[in-house]
Amino acid sequence: MIGFLCFLYTMDLSASSKDNHWKLIKEENGIKIYALDSPQTTTQTAPLTAPVTDIVKAKAIVTINAPLNKVRAILDDIDHRHEWIPYLESSKALTNYNSNDNKNKRIEYSHFHAPWPASDRDFVYEIELITSSDKQLMYIMKSVASELMPINKQIIRADLFETIYTLTAINNETTKVELIFHADPKGWIPDWIVNIIQRVLPYKILVKLGERLKV
Domain that holds residue 99: 23-37+49-214
Environment class of residue 76 by beta-carbon count within 10 Å: exposed (0-12), middle (13-18) or buried (19+)? exposed
Question: Residue 176's closest CA among 77, 67, 94?
Answer: 67
- Are the C-beta atoms of 173 and 67 separated by less than 8 Å? yes
Residue 55 lies in a domain: yes
| Residue 51: per-residue pLDDT | 65
- Spell out a b/e string for 165-182, using b for 16 or more CB atoms within 10 Å of the CB, else e: bbbbbeeeeebbbbbbbb
DSSP lists the bridge partners of residue 133 as: 136
| Residue 208: per-residue pLDDT | 97
User: The CATH number of the domain where 198 resides is what?
Assistant: 3.30.530.20
Give every residue of the chain whose pLDDT is below 70, as ranges. 1-20, 37-51, 99-103
| Residue 184: per-residue pLDDT | 95
Environment class of residue 79 by beta-carbon count within 10 Å: exposed (0-12), middle (13-18) or buried (19+)? exposed
| Residue 54: per-residue pLDDT | 87
| Residue 197: per-residue pLDDT | 87
Residue 42 lies in a domain: no
DSSP lists the bridge partners of residue 110 as: 91, 123
Question: Residue 160's closest CA among 90, 112, 99?
Answer: 112
Instruction: Domain count for the chain, please give it.
Output: 1
Question: Residue 42's closest CA among 123, 144, 162?
Answer: 162
Residue 13 lies in a domain: no
* Predicted structure pTM score: 0.83
